[in-house]
Every structure is written in structure tokens, then in C-alpha cells.
Structure 1
């Protein structure tokens, strides 16, 4: 069932009346930006091409990065601005077309982060109502809490970085935690294939290891991979060598982390669980918890009480630029619970794109093909 033009225009009109300015970033985007920032899941599904001048390009796989790039090109990075968009993104799929219609919004530069978080989630829910989709399930998470727990465990840097990279992918995160606990987690991302090379690097002099990797890349005629220099690739190999050998394994830290990731339930009920976890483990969570509570108060003021939202400590969005509050809106339970909306906070993204400092930012995208399926099933 295709969504009617009138219904789509109704949703866009809501975003405009809420004070958001329409923007239409180019479909062709520099590939290097996305290879560096979107995460492994989307990186594998990019539609890549090359410009006449040899520049690596891709069809935009999302709107957030292109919108932020336009924002930086048209004024001061830290200015307050609100944008909305409508158009296709492109990701390779095993089934169906890779052209995916979306509607979404981005809010940049607002310092009142709790209120901005609440406004954005409420706007996403209200936009769905324009398609007559209202009885939805809302799932929320907080990457700031996860990062604070990692910092409180005093893990080696290589493990902190690895666990942060995997946050949001429950299976791979669980496998990594098992390895950190000293348990055999089986093959992870081709670990068995690389084990000989990684074992040779483990414990090697860093300068010698760098030289080996750079020589191998030179022999293969490779000067960069995904925007990374040979030196950065060598650093990555050294990290992988430490991970594969289990260096820095800490069973107690692994059990503490598992306990945190098991915390879940209605958002208003998990506050006590999070406070109890902090008290029992001695991990400092006062700052992130204060932000969590302020957000819940702001959401309740927007008509979204904590009892209506489900919090899961393990929930993160598999895009590298998300940094704090994250959310998904799923179709009603009777519609197979398909995800209709994904969004969250990405305060570091504009700095990664060239701004002098971090800029508060939050946004969401609605997958119109999924909304169409829900409406069709109901009809």
C-alpha cells in the first residue's frame, strides 16, 4: 500500500509548523565521510561510485550527515537551527530495492538538551499520528550511561574502545564480554582466519609492528582503507591482536558489565535499578543519572510518561556518531513490532565534520516504506 501524497504532505506540514526548515541535501556525497562515521553495518551497504576527477562518492545512506554538512557550509556551526527533509536514502539490501523513502528532522545547537530530547521524540510520535499510526511501542536507551559504566570499570583503553564500538549489537557485544571474562567466545568477525597474524603482532615492538603492516600495505599497493592511513590501520591491528589474545581480561569487570546490560523495564521504574547498581558497584553515575531523570521529566511534560516507554541498558543505535539519548518507535504489537522511527543524540558529529567544538544535536528518521506496510496490513 503506497502512502498518499496528501498524507505525506500533512506530515511535512506538521514539521514546518513546528518551526523546522526544509532542506534537500545532494544525493551524491563524499564516500570518505560515511566510511569513517556511519559504522560497520551501513558501511557494508553503501552504493559506491567514482567521480570524473577520481573522487570516491556514494549515494547518501542517511540524511543526518548530509544535513550537518550543509549546516556547516552555510553559517556558524554552533548556531541554533532546525531542519526537516523528505526523500530517499540508499542502502544495499538482500531483498527489495535499495532506495528507501524517509521523512525526518534534525535539531542543532540547542543547549537545553533534556527539553530538546523530549521535543524530538514527541515530534516523531506526532508525525506518525499524521499517518494514523498512534498505538506505538517506544524504546529508549542512553549511551552516556554505558560510557560512564565503562569508564568506572577502569578497563584498558583497547577494551573500552572495542566495547563502545559494539554497543548496540547485542550478540557481538556479549561475545566480546565473554572473551574479556576469559571465556572462549568462538569465532568473532573472522578471528580464526586472522589469529596467526594477530598472534605474531601481539607483544611485538609497536614500531616494528607498524613497519610490518605498512610494508604489507605498500606491497599490496594500498595507501589508505576507508579513509584510514597505514599508521592508523597498524594501530587497529595491534588492538585486534590484544583482543584476540585476551590481553587485559577482567572476569569481575565482565560480570559487572553484564549486570548493567541486564537492566531493563518501564523507564520510570529503572531509575531505582540504575541507582542500586551504582551504589552496589561504586561506579560514579550521578551526572548521567541526573540527565536521565531530567529527560524523563521533560518527556512527561510532553505527554510521554515513563510508564509508556521501555528502557533497555543494552540498547544503542548502530551508527558511530550517536553519543547519548537514543530511541526507536515500533509499530503496534499486532503489526509484528516493526521499527518505524530511529533517532537520538549525536553531539560529537559536527566536530567530527569540521566544527571547532562539539555542538548539541538530535534528530530522527521515519522509514516510510515500513509505515506503508503497517497501514496496508491494517487496511
Structure 2
């Protein structure tokens, strides 16, 4: 089969197929593995009493520009934005700003003092596609809105760690830092600029631009020469106010009490303007240079950036499902196999085909996974199809079986065959079917 090349899926996106795939434009992990991962994520987060929130894929462009920050790479270079009529739209590049918008718009503060929310869905960025980085990717994460205590920070980090522990991932590293309160970041920004300005000519073109606009992003550099220049740079922890330091120390103490290991990293600032106080990132060595599995932090100032009259304490994390899948594959995670069918109905002739169509519906109402031939093929071809779909049983009916009102039921594992009356077929199958796991 052929397809007009101009109609293939867009570079940086992929199809998720029912079976494992090796073709270009398809993700190698089948849909049943994605479903398993999503189910585990939901189960873990719901044990922490997080409740799901779903926001639109389309959001107003100003929401992301104001929420994420005009000078961030996301807004400056990575948004898929367009105008229709008088409205500017963007395909959401992240979900924290949309969740905060929903919180404010729908007055979720009136539903309880603290909102514990989780999400799972696609996001879009104009990335240069590479392993673990796509133009359409899938995020999951949580937001705790309305709690300013260090316990809330520890709860979010504990929930993040619990997800990855549920998959049995090893060799993970949690990096931790603090950005302080509203006064800390401007003072540190000025100190960092003063330190780096004499070295401006030694910085890359990107870092020279960031030096004027967003110097904290230089701390994220992977350039070896710039890393050496930063060795003696001022540390943001030295600029924390007493209350900000107390908050950070309390978070560390809670993590230690919970048995969650971490390393302090003064260079961890993350790329979004709305972060304050705690910031963190979880890394896996199985991801290569782009090692981040998940990350997040506190963003008490975001609500005001969106026009709210006062700060709203909030903290959360976001994580990529594609990156999680890469780490799971690297550690040879045993994804559950597709369970296959319980029953495949093999019909010989038009009358039997009509009977099979009705019988399939009845068996499905009884909770069985059932399929049937829709192409009018031979018995041999239908049996091959039953075998291909890993059916536990094949139920064979032709004119003779219709007259006797008995079906031939073949055990596809053993080859044994039974004659079963039509009115006993459902009970027989429900009593003998053992689902594949």
C-alpha cells in the first residue's frame, strides 16, 4: 500500500499502534504498554488523593506568554501559535498555566482549602526532534494549589517518586534547590549578571543574550567552558531571606524523614519564570544527555501573573511519558502483554454469519472479549485469524450446527473440541475462559 508522501505524519510526531512498531513515524511501544503506564500513573496519584483535571489543548496565547514568561525559550521559540479572527491561540506547551487558569476561572478555591489535581495528556513544542524530545509529546503531573507549607512541597515530591518507584526504576537522582521568595530572584539576578559581565565575550551567543534577559538560564548550560566560568559564581542559596531559608530547610528535613534521597544543586533553576522557593528535577542515566525524567517546583506568583489580585501558593511537577518509556525499556521492564481474545466466532455461510453477529453481542454483554470474521473468509482463514489474535477459544458454527443448535468450541491451546448447546454457550465460555495476563 502507498501513501502520498506529503500526507505522512508531521516530523516530531508519531502514531501509537496496537502492535510494537519499527516503521518511521510510529512509536516503538504498542498502545497496550501506553495504557499500562497511564493506568499505573493514575493509580499511584489517586492513592495520594489527587483528582484528575482535563484542560483544552487550545489555550489563549497570552495565558502561556504571561504564565510561562515572555523571555523563556518556550514562548520565544517553541510555541505553535496562530490567529483566527481576533483571537490568538496556542497549542499548549505545558499544563501548569492552564491548570492555574482553570483553578481561578472556576473558583476551585471554594471547593476546599487545598486542591490536589493531576493531569495526563498531549503538549506541543516546536522542538528539534530527537530521542525523548518531540513536537507532540505527552505529559503527566500534579499541582497542589492553596498550600504554602513545606509539607506540600514534600507531598508533591513524594508523589512523583512514588510513580517511578511503582515501575521499579533504579539509579534515579533527585536534584533539589531553592529560588527563594519574590525578593530573592531579582537580587540574585543582579549579582549573577555582575559576576558574568566581565566574561561576556567568553560566553556563547545564546548565553550572551540570556545575560541581558534571563541570566539564570545560563546556569543550565551544558557548555564545558561556561560550566568552568560558573564554578565561582554566586550561589542563590546565599541570597535567601530567613523565611525562605527556613522553608527550604524544612523541605529537606521532610524528605529525609520520608526516606527520599536527594542532592543539592545550586545550578538547578529550571526554565520557567513562575518558579519560587523549592525547585527539583528527577534524572535517569538511561536517558543520555537529556537526562530529566520529571521536574517541578513552587510557583506562588503565577496567579498574579494571570491577573489575580493576590498570590496563590502552589507547587507541582510535570513529567514526560515518552521519557518514562525510554527508561523502562532501558531497564527491560516487563510490560503486560496484550491479553488477546477470549472468543473468536468462526461462521460458515451467511446464516451462520448472521447468528455470529448476534451471538458476539450477547457474549460481549457477558463481559467476554469477542471478535468475528467480517470478510466472509474460509474456515481455514478464519481459524488462522483466531490464532493470530490469540483467541482462547474458537466457536465454530455452520449450517449443521445451526440445525442442531450446537456450536463446536475448540480450545486453541490444546486443540480439544466440545459440542455445546447454544443456550449453554455463554455459561460454558464464562466457566472455562481463563484470560491471558
Answer yes or no: same fold by TM over 0.5: yes
Using CA pairs below 8 Å that are at least 6 residues apart, which structure has the higher relative contact order? 1
CA separation in 1, counterparts of 2:303 and 2:182? 22
What pairs up with 1:101-116 in 2 under 5 angstroms?
A: 101-111=138-148, 113-116=149-152
> How many Å separate the matches in 2 of 1:13 and 1:321?
29
Q: CA deviation at 1:77?
A: 4.8
What are the Cα deviations for residues 6-51 of structure 1, in whole angstroms up to 9, with x where unaligned?
Answer: 2321211211221111111000000112123324211110011223
Give 1:43-122 correspondences, 5 Å limit: 43=75, 44-51=77-84, 53-75=85-107, 77=109, 79-95=113-129, 97-111=134-148, 113-122=149-158
Gaps of 5+ in 2: 1-27, 214-228, 333-437
Match of 1:375 in 2: 328
After TM superposition, list the pairs within 5 Å mapping 1:154-169 onto structure 2: 160=190
Q: How far 1:334 sits from its partner (Å)?
A: 5.4
When residues 91 and 300 of structure 1 are mapped into structure 2, their CA distance, relative to the original with a 3 A threshold, is same
RMSD, aligned CA:
3.1
2:61 to 31, 51, 57: 31
1:336 correspondence with 2:288 = yes
Deviations 1:126-165 (A, max 9, x none): 01123332431011111118953863x8xxxxx63xx7xx
Instruction: Kindly indicate whether residue 381 of structure 2 is the aligned counterpart of residue 349 of structure 1.
Output: no
* Partner SS for 2:177: strand
Q: Is the 8 A contact 1:146 1:313 kept in 2?
A: no
2:179–2:185 Cα contact (<8 Å) kept: no
Matching residue of 1:41:
73
Q: Residue deviations 1:180-233, cap 9 Å, x none?
A: x486456755979xxxxxxxxxxxxxxxxxxxxxxxxxxxxxxxxxxxxxxxxx
* In structure 1, distance between residues paired with 2:252 and 2:321: 28
Give the TM-score normalised by the residue count of structure 1. 0.65
Distance of 1:336 and 1:48 partners within structure 2: 30
What SS does the aligned partner of 1:19 have? Answer: coil
The alpha carbon displacement at 1:56 in A equals: 0.6
Q: Does 1:177 align with 2:195?
A: yes
Bigger helix share? 1
Cα contact 1:48–1:57 (8 A) shared by 2: yes
Q: Normalized against structure 2, the TM-score is what?
A: 0.57
Q: Is the contact made by 2:175 and 2:264 (CA closer than 8 Å) also made in structure 1?
A: yes
Contact conserved, 1:260 with 1:313, CA < 8 A, in 2?
no
Say which SS state the counterpart of residue 29 (structure 1) adopts. strand
Q: In the TM superposition, what whole-angstrom CA distance separates every residue of 1:75-130 from its partner, at most 9, and x where no partner exists? A: 1558421110110111111125411111111000013x210111111110101123
Distance 1:10 1:352 in 2: 34
**Residues 334 and 37 of structure 1: CA distance in aligned 2, closer, same or farther (over 3 Å):** closer
**Matching residue of 1:246:** none
CA distance in 1: counterparts of 2:101 and 2:91, whole angstroms: 15
Q: 1:83 to 1:64 in 2, by over 3 A?
A: same
CA 1:359–1:55: 2 relative to 1, 3 Å = same
The runs of 5 or more residues in structure 1 that have no matched partner are 154-158, 164-172, 193-238, 241-254, 264-273
- Once the two structures are TM-superposed, the CA of residue 340 in structure 1 deviates from its matched residue by 0.4
Q: In 1, Cα distance between the equivalents of 2:125 and 2:318?
A: 15
Q: Equivalences for 1:171-250 in 2 at 5 Å?
A: 177-179=195-197, 181=198, 184-185=201-202, 188=205
Q: Secondary structure at 2:127's aligned position in 1?
A: coil
More divergent stretch after superposition (7-16 vs 18-27): 7-16
Q: Which residue of 2 aligns with 1:138?
A: 174
Which structure would you say has the larger Rg? 2
Name the counterpart of 1:13.
Answer: 43
How far apart are residue 351 of structure 1 and its match? 1.7
Correspondence for 2:17: none
**What is the aligned residue count?**
276
